[in-house]
A and B are shown apart, each in its own frame.
Chain A
């Protein structure tokens, strides 16, 4: 049978009869669940350096992963060979890991296409690379025009069109198309002895129309250059424990690291997370409400169905300080005996899915942004954050401040470079004592056990009453 997904785009990755046959083979030795994830992805990367288009590389990712469960044991087998024979061989390998007699009886498929709230106006695969390259040149010109101290500008453009088919022995048979477009600008400022860098990386679950709706190459170039030049003239951040005001947008990385990862079934289901078994408790300050939302049209971390075929949703994680939900995938659901939340995600067919974040943010509060800085005696204002990481077992997290300012007696006195922020998640979310009104989101790539996936982080401006600031 032929599947037609949302109008003109046709996705026909696998026939239902073949899928049935493969699933039946996969569970034939006693598995109680079987799943096929089949993917065909085309993408293009363009790199501009020293003002020239240096590399254009196109790539096609293609393969399938077959997963079976016996109770809480998961078996995953993947291959590039998605022919009937290839998939059957793959199913055979999975089945060989189980020996429990006969398996579950697959339910008949309910064939569906994922509902997609966004319209893709220009599919990147249908846009000439020359038009994409022009956007990189615009950003490059803007960055170089900012200052003579800009020594290098490196710009990456990427797009992906990922067609997937997910089917399982519970009758799920769903197709989906995910279209991503992103640009990253990295500017380097130098005085001959020292280098500093600045970066901007906006993107969306969008086609090439992202350059009309969201990504302004000129602004990106200028902002990255401004950051680099500002940091070149900034003294090193002092070290110690201080109050910290973290701006909106990518500032949300604090919640992502300090708390988000520790609310994923990946660690909660094993009782490892510092938030395991704490549902219903006040784990954060009452001004903190945190949400993981996969439904926002065009957002970088949004999903239509998750990579286990479940429709996406909007999930309140923390409601005014109280822990109300975890992010749960299918296996996590078995271990935790709680329903899944549409949170199963993976980088590609080469990774078994697990619970992951989507667009995760601290919701808008009521505090005045200007007052947060004005009331601070001495501390750090973190305007742009870099990435971070966390050990969910201990809750220890860290993240970098890409552009920071030192505050004294309620006033910004000068920029500071090289700052990082560290702490323990459960302490820090209790110490958030101000939450501003203007919530914004920003794009990042999140790496964890099921690979690197697009997510948004977000928040309004917040204040943490005390935090360890790494500097020298």
Chain B
């Protein structure tokens, strides 16, 4: 059955079965990827996929279901599943199906060239990036590949109040993962770029930068355990901010899963820290005029000069707290809360300035194992890290097999400087580098 017909029939069937109001959220995606490895195309992937979720109210209780099949059986399944789901729903605050805002922000369409780039061109770019990495340095002897991905994504929200909203997004992602070897030493490098104009991508530069990253980490050793003055580079800080972004969710706060509950207006971070959630950011990966439940989105300061201005809300959490939604509803099974383009506002200093100001200490460039070594509920983290020794204000030898440990709530307070190098590394969450004060390092 055609998707349009499926949606029409589903909304009609919902009404006929006591599911009222009801809402559909439909997404589809076409994607392509090509990966070069050992100077050949290793794999090539093409997909066309779609999925549909429905939520609807039965006797004032909300039920949820989803499908990737669009036949008669799927229609019956969704109706039955929504009714079963609603019947069990005991939540005191129910989600609302929203008739829509009067106006939505204008989002200028991003120009792109993605439809015009052929598969052959993409294959060639992947090969070029992989080759450039190999040729950049004699130590680059292997690689985990170089990949070009393109995707076109569309989301449609429709409900029985007559609301109909649509959002589309096109994107390319390119990355290279060379491996450097020298004697017994092995190091992996990484460089990722993304955007909408693939022909503007320079695959040679991408490969070379990835190679330089790998080579710079060769012969890295742990430092002695102890407390170190520490700068966290933008990419590592972005990993931390992504992992702990949930502490700014009103949903988590109301569920006692965040220590920021009820702390609006209080100083929760260093006065150098401002955090913004900007769904209107040009070129952002989460840029959209409406959120997961159809509320108009807008830009807001979450933290301003260290003071918590607002938590992020959907309609349900806002109603509970007696405030307005911040347009941060996110559908995932039920209705939740998530940041959009969410970032630590950049300061004035370059990374080099901060290193000079610090004198001696460590620069952390990568943290891994965040799904395990960072606890979003306590804020504690103890993470495998990489980086460089900073001596006399300059980057010296590489460091690996160390852990950096701390607590995110405390880290926000101990930030001594914020860099100007804000980046969104393939993510809607971004950060500049920060001078984090003193951190606990475990090494040798």
Tell me whether A74 and B44 are in contact (CB under 8 A).
Answer: yes
Report the minimum CB–CB distance from A53 to chain B (whole Å). Answer: 5
Q: Is A72 an interface residue (CB 8 A)?
A: yes
- Interface size of A by Cβ–Cβ distance < 8 Å? 83
Binds A, one of B67-75, B305-313, B353-361: B67-75
Are B42 and A398 closer than 8 Å at their CB atoms?
no
What residues of A have a CB within 8 angstroms of the CB of B375 in the complex? Answer: 196-197, 418
A59 contacts B256, CB within 8 Å? no
In the assembled complex, A26 has its CB within 8 A of some CB on chain B: no
Q: How far is the CA of A46 from the CA of B81 in the complex (A)?
A: 12
> Does A239 lie within 8 Å of B37, measured CB to CB?
no
- Provide the residues of chain A in CB contact with B87, threshold 8 Å: 129-130
A417: nearest chain-B partner, CB-CB? B380
Given A49-B255, A79-B47, A190-B256, also A399-B372 (CB < 8 A) = yes
Question: With a CB–CB cut-off of 8 A, which chain A residues contact B321?
Answer: none
Whether A400 pairs with B186 at a CB distance below 8 angstroms is: no
Asked if B372 contacts A239 (CB within 8 A), the reply is: no
Flag whether B165 is at the interface (Cβ < 8 A): no
* A391 CB contacts on chain B under 8 angstroms: 188, 368
A374 part of interface (Cβ distance < 8 Å):
no
A470 lies within 8 A of chain B by Cβ: yes
> Residue of B at shortest CB range from A55?
B334
A352 touching B88, Cβ below 8 Å: no
Residue of B nearest to A39 (CB): B68
Chain A residues, Cβ within 8 Å of B65: 57-59
Closest to B38 in A: A270
Min CB–CB distance A158 → chain B (angstroms): 10
How many Å from the CB of B124 to the closest CB on chain A?
14
**B404 surroundings in chain A (CB, below 8 A):** 470
In the complex, what distance in Å separates the CA atom of A62 from the CA atom of B383?
A: 38
A27 interface contact, C-beta 8 A: no
Closest Cβ of chain B to A29, distance in Å, is: 13
Closest to A420 in B: B382
Q: How far is the CA of A74 from the CA of B74 in the complex (A)?
A: 33
B window 34-77: CB within 8 A of A: 37-38, 40-51, 53, 63-70, 74, 77
Question: What is the chain B residue whose CB lies nearest that of A71?
Answer: B40
Whether the Cβ atoms of B377 and A188 lie closer than 8 Å is yes
Whether A129 contacts B64 by the Cβ 8 Å rule is no
From A80, A194, A271, B49 is in contact (CB under 8 Å) with A80
A33 within 8 A of B: no
Point out the residues of chain A lying under 8 angstroms from B384, CB to CB. 389, 396-398, 420, 422, 470
Q: Are B44 and A394 in contact (CB under 8 A)?
A: no
Q: Does residue B92 face the partner (Cβ distance < 8 Å to A)? A: yes
Residue-wise interface mask of A (119-155) relative to B, using a CB-CB cutoff of 8 A (1 in contact, 0 not):
0000000001110010000000000000000011010
Return the contact of B85 from the options A58, A241, A423 (Cβ within 8 A): A58
Residue of B nearest to A65 (CB): B47
Separation in Å of the A85 CB from the closest CB of chain B?
A: 13
Does A202 have its Cβ within 8 Å of any Cβ on chain B? no
Q: Is the CB of B380 within 8 A of A396?
A: no
Which among B43, B47, B64, B69 is the interface contact of A73 at CB below 8 angstroms? B43
Contact B225 A72, beta carbon cutoff 8 Å: no
Partner of B179, one of A386, A393, A399, A470: A393
**Chain B residues in 8 Å Cβ range of A197:** 375, 377-378
Query: How far is B50's CA from A418's CA once the two chains are assembled, in angstroms?
Result: 41
Counting CB contacts under 8 A, is A47 at the interface? yes
Q: B403–A97 contact, CB under 8 A?
A: no
Number of interface residues of B (CB under 8 A): 77
| B47, B84, B373: most-surrounded residue (chain A CB, <10 A) | B373
| A237 CA to B403 CA, complexed, in Å | 12
B437 to chain A, nearest CB (A): 13
Given the interface pairs A58-B81, A78-B47, the reply to whether A72 lies near B42 with Cβ below 8 Å is yes
Known: A57-B65, A197-B377, A272-B144. A239 touches B49 (CB 8 A): no
Chain A residue contacts of B382, Cβ below 8 A: 237, 400, 418-420, 470-472
Q: Which of B398-444 contact A (CB under 8 A)?
A: 400-406, 439-444
Could you tell me if B84 and A420 are in contact, using CB atoms closer than 8 angstroms? Answer: no
Residue of B nearest to A151 (CB): B256
Q: Which A25-65 residues have a C-beta within 8 angstroms of B? A: 40, 42, 45-47, 49-50, 52-63
Cβ–Cβ contact B368 & A389, under 8 A: yes
Say whether A424 faces chain B, with CB atoms less than 8 Å apart. yes
**Among the listed B64, B74, B380, B402, which residue makes an inter-chain contact with A57, where contact means beta carbons less than 8 Å apart?**
B64
- Binary CB contact string for chain B from 248 to 288 against chain A (1 if under 8 A, 0 otherwise): 00000001110100000000000000000000000000000
Report the separation of the CA atoms of residues A151 and B226 in the bound assembly, to the nearest whole angstrom.
34
Cβ-neighbour of B378 out of A73, A128, A129, A194 (below 8 A): A194
Chain B, residue nearest A266 (CB) = B144
Give the CA-CA distance A202 to B66 in the complex, in Å. Answer: 25
- Check A58–B84 contact: CB distance below 8 A: yes
A133 to B87, CA, bound (A): 11
Instruction: Evaluate contact between B119 and A471: CB separation under 8 angstroms.
Output: no
B169: Cβ under 8 A from any A Cβ: no
A273 to B48, CA, bound (A): 33
Partner of A418, one of B40, B88, B405: B405
B347 to chain A, nearest CB (A): 26
Asked if A469 CB lies within 8 Å of chain B CBs, one says: yes
Residues of B within 8 A of A46 (CB): 88
- Measured in the bound complex, the distance between the Cα atoms of B225 and A422 in whole Å is 13
Q: Does B222 contact A (CB under 8 A)?
A: yes
List, in ascending order, chain B residues with CB within 8 A of A154's CB. 255, 257
**B66 engages A470 (CB within 8 Å):** no
Q: With the chains together, A40 CA to B50 CA distance in Å?
A: 14
Cβ contact within 8 Å between B66 and A59 = yes
A448: chain B residues within 8 A (beta carbon): none
Question: A265 to nearest B CB, angstroms?
Answer: 13
Instruction: From the candidates B48, B68, B144, B405, name the one contacting A239 in the complex (CB within 8 A).
Output: B405
Cβ contact within 8 Å between A60 and B401: no
A188, B371: Cα distance in complex, Å: 17
Chain A residue numbers with a CB within 8 Å of B85 are: 55-58, 129
- Say yes or no: B44 contacts A76, CB within 8 Å: yes
Question: Which residues of B are found within 8 Å of A76, using beta-carbon distances?
Answer: 43-46
Query: Is the CB of A350 closer than 8 A to any CB of chain B?
Result: yes
Question: A residues within 8 A CB of B179?
Answer: 272, 393
CA distance A63 to B444 in the complex (A): 50
By a CB distance below 8 angstroms, the chain B residues around A159 are none
Chain B residues with Cβ below 8 Å from A417 are: 378, 380
The 4 closest A-B pairs by CB, nearest first: A470-B403, A472-B440, A239-B442, A55-B334
25 A-B interface contacts by CB (under 8 A): A45-B333, A56-B64, A56-B84, A58-B65, A58-B77, A60-B68, A63-B49, A75-B43, A78-B45, A78-B47, A80-B51, A97-B46, A128-B84, A154-B255, A236-B405, A239-B403, A241-B444, A352-B43, A389-B368, A391-B188, A394-B187, A418-B405, A420-B382, A420-B384, A470-B373
Q: A46-B88, A398-B403 are in contact. List 11 more A-B contacts (CB 8 A).
A: A60-B74, A60-B77, A63-B68, A79-B47, A81-B48, A236-B405, A239-B405, A274-B186, A396-B400, A417-B378, A419-B382
B interface residues, Cβ below 8 angstroms from A: 37-38, 40-51, 53, 63-70, 74, 77, 81, 84-85, 87-92, 119, 142, 144, 179, 186-188, 222, 225-226, 255-257, 259, 333-334, 368-369, 371-373, 375, 377-384, 400-406, 439-444
